[in-house]
Structure 1
Amino acid sequence: MPVTNIDGVDLYYHVQGKGIPIVFIHPPLLTSMNYIYQVNELSNRFKVIVFDIRGHGNSSFSEKALTYPLISHDIKQLLDHLKIDKAFICGYSTGGSIALDFLLTYPKRSLGGILIGALSEVKDLSLKNKITLGVKLAEWKALKALALSVSFTNSNTGQLFKDLYINAKKGQAQNVKQYYQYSLQYNCTARLNQIKCPVLLLYGEKDKAFHRYAHLLQENLPVNECILIGDIKHQLPTKAAVAVNNFIKQFVSTHGAQNGGN
């Protein structure tokens, strides 16, 4: 199991394939396993990098409270460890907020962004309530129940559900809680115009609640392409993997060469 030690924390990662590098960032409690379809398919053309955020999956507990800047720092350190100068940064759901934070903090290390059902801030009450419930369940150390729910929601086969659940329930309650909590306060909307690299926005056509975030990003990111994927809600990496992977291939092939990708 490949691990790199960053400031005393063992960070699990996996690299597959060769070519232009793409780093994938998972939401709270879910792990790098959520990108299994991207790893298997996209690694035929690109260098796919997945990792478990501190206190999640196979990565060790973080004494430092989880914040997006800390996770962005870990990604930068991971790229240093792998001797990768620049990469595309992909995040799903709140993992997309971390992708935005990385693009803002380390523009010289970024070839572009791929945001899947992502958001620059939590604006609506319904989403705030869902995230707050995640905070409470982590606080009550009810991770198995939470892991069961998120694994079921994001799986499309019995085997994937089992794999997601086994990895999700390894999470450290305190770090999972911190990840959920930070997503409630993070807001980079006012700084989106600083992101000059190209960004691909992917949303489910049926994910109506997130369309406001798609519009917000579309209006404020200087260079972006927004695509709605039909007949699907929020769980695009697993439930619309073929479409997601095809759009990522097109985007990375086009912009990777233009921006000096490996």
Structure 2
Amino acid sequence: MPTMTSHHADLYYEVHGEGHPVIFTHGASWNHKQWEPQVQFFAERYKTIVWDVRGHGYSSLPEGKVDSETFSKDLIALMDHLEIKRAVLCGLSMGGHISLQTAIRFPERVEALVLIGTPFTNAFNWFEKCFVPFNRWSSRMIPIRLTGWIQAAMLSKYNPDNRAYIEEAFNMLTQERWLRLWDAITRMESREHLDHVQCPVLLLQGEHDTMIKRQQKYMHSKIRNSELHIIPRAHHATNLDNPNAVNEQISRFLVKHRNEF
């Protein structure tokens, strides 16, 4: 398995195809396999890169408290390892937030962003300010396998195949590892830096994804060079629920901005 080391973690990655680099970053508790429909589609024209964020999938997690700022540093380290100076970054949920923070902190390395169902904070409104701390506490009480089963059931309405994948991804996590990761993920914050993003941004939101609906609209209003599109027949697992629509939107966006790369 191809791995590289970044900040004491061994990170798993895959490279498919040749051409302009597009790096896909998965959602929390998932792994690189989330992007199989995109790898099959984009590897014919682009260097398509997927990886496991530290602590997920085949990537390791050092002992101690997880610092969420390390996520974007890992992504830059991966680019350095692959000798990629600049790339298009695409991510869903946590993976979108990691991509967003990378564009904020390392703007010279990011050509464009594709953010799918992406939050920029976990304290957007009063509900989140109350729910997220409760969620951190409840994650300690609920066994990791049950958490995976619940999430898989919730996010497989539009694509029944999601259930097996989500449960498989959760089964690669331990309770202890997940608690450390989730604590860091739910403390990621980028609200005050959205106007720092200067590259083209494509925001994709699942039609039925109420989890991040308000945040997507807010991001669109704050990021000058952004466009927002709704993906029909899709929830939070947007790229898996309706991969054809997602692939078409990303492909259109890449062609539209190819002269800027």
How far residue 188 of structure 1 moved from its aligned partner, in angstroms, is: 1.3
CA-CA distance at 1:73 after TM superposition: 0.5
Q: 1:158 to 1:206 in 2, by over 3 A?
A: closer
Q: 1:141 to 1:233 in 2, by over 3 A?
A: closer
**Distance (whole Å) between structure 1 residues aligned to residue 131 and residue 239 of structure 2:** 20
CA–CA distance in structure 2, aligned partners of residues 128 and 32 of structure 1: 30
CA distance in 1, matches of 2:210, 2:170: 27
Structure 1 residue 211 and structure 2 residue 245: aligned?
no
State the match for 1:72 in structure 2.
72
8 A contact 1:29–1:169 mirrored in 2? no
Change (3 A) 1:44 1:229: same
Q: Any conservation in 1 of the 2:19–2:45 contact (CA below 8 Å)? A: yes
Find the aligned partners of 1:137 and 1:2 in 2 and give their Cα distance: 35
Do 1:28 and 1:176's aligned partners in 2 also have CA atoms closer than 8 Å?
Answer: no
**Alpha-carbon distance change, 17 to 164 in structure 1, aligned in 2, over 3 angstroms:** farther
* Alpha-carbon distance in structure 2 between the residues aligned to 1:136 and 1:40: 39
Q: 2 CA distance for matches of 1:91 and 1:160? A: 17
Q: For structure 1, which segment, 190-199 or 3-12, has the greater mean C-alpha deviation from structure 2 after superposition?
A: 3-12
Q: Does 1:200 align with 2:202?
A: yes
Answering whether residue 97 of structure 2 is matched by residue 97 of structure 1, we say yes
Per-residue CA shift, 1:165-213, capped at 9, x if unaligned? 2232112434422332234333212211111000000012222442211
Give the TM-score of the pair, scaled to structure 2. 0.89
Mean CA deviation greater in 85-94 or 201-210: 201-210
Question: Cα 1:167–1:214, aligned 2, differ >3 Å: closer, same or farther?
Answer: closer
Following superposition, the deviation at residue 250 of structure 1 comes to 1.1
Distance 1:48 1:108 in 2: 20
Inter-partner Cα distance in structure 2 for 1:130 and 1:43:
39
Quote the offset at 1:141 in angstroms: 7.2
Structure 2, unaligned runs of 5 or more: none
- Cα deviation 1:111-163 (Å, max 9, x = unaligned): 11110011211224555666556534553472111222333444466655334
Which residue is 2:190 aligned to?
Answer: 188
Match of 1:151 in 2: 152
Structure 1 residue 104: deviation in Å?
Answer: 0.5
Contact kept, 8 Å, 1:86 with 1:108, in 2: the verdict is yes
Q: 1:73 to 1:141 in 2, by over 3 A?
A: farther
Q: Higher relative contact order by CA 8 Å / sep ≥ 6: 1 or 2?
A: 1
Specify which of 213, 238, 241 is matched with residue 240 of structure 2: 238
Distance change in 2, residues 1:240/1:26 (3 Å): same
Residue of 158, 161, 164 corresponding to 2:163: 161
- What secondary structure, in the 3-state scheme, does the structure 2 residue paired with 1:47 have? strand
**1-side partners of 2:89 and 2:68: how far apart?**
14
> Deviation string for 1:87-121 (max 9, x for gaps)?
11112113222111110011111011110011211
- Report the more deviating stretch, 227-236 or 174-183: 174-183
Per the TM alignment, residue 220 of structure 1 is displaced from its structure 2 partner at its CA by 0.6
What is the rounded CA distance, in whole Å, between the counterparts of 2:49 and 2:138 in structure 1? 30
Measure the CA separation in 1 of the matches of 2:155 and 2:208. 15
**87-96 or 213-222, which deviates more:** 87-96
Can you list the C-alpha shifts for 1:13-39, whole angstroms capped at 9, x where unaligned? 111111121112222211112212111
With the length of structure 1 as denominator, give the TM-score of the two structures. 0.88
Q: Secondary structure at the match of 2:189?
A: coil
Equivalent residue letter for 2:216: A
Secondary structure, in 3 states, of the residue corresponding to 2:65? Answer: coil
Tell me, in whole angstroms, the C-alpha distance in 2 between the residues paired with 1:157 and 1:218: 28
Identity of aligned residues (%): 26
SS state of the match for residue 185, structure 1? coil
Distance 1:223 1:127, change over 3 A: same
CA 1:60/1:138 → structure 2, altered by over 3 Å: closer, same or farther?
farther
Counterparts of 1:134 and 1:27, CA distance in 2: 17
Q: Distance in 2 between matches of 1:125 and 1:40?
A: 41
- Equivalent residue in structure 1 for 2:249, among 241, 244, 247: 247
Q: What root-mean-square deviation, in Å, do the aligned CA atoms of Structure 1 and Structure 2 show? A: 2.3
Question: Partner residue of 1:11?
Answer: 11
Shift of 1:62: 2.2
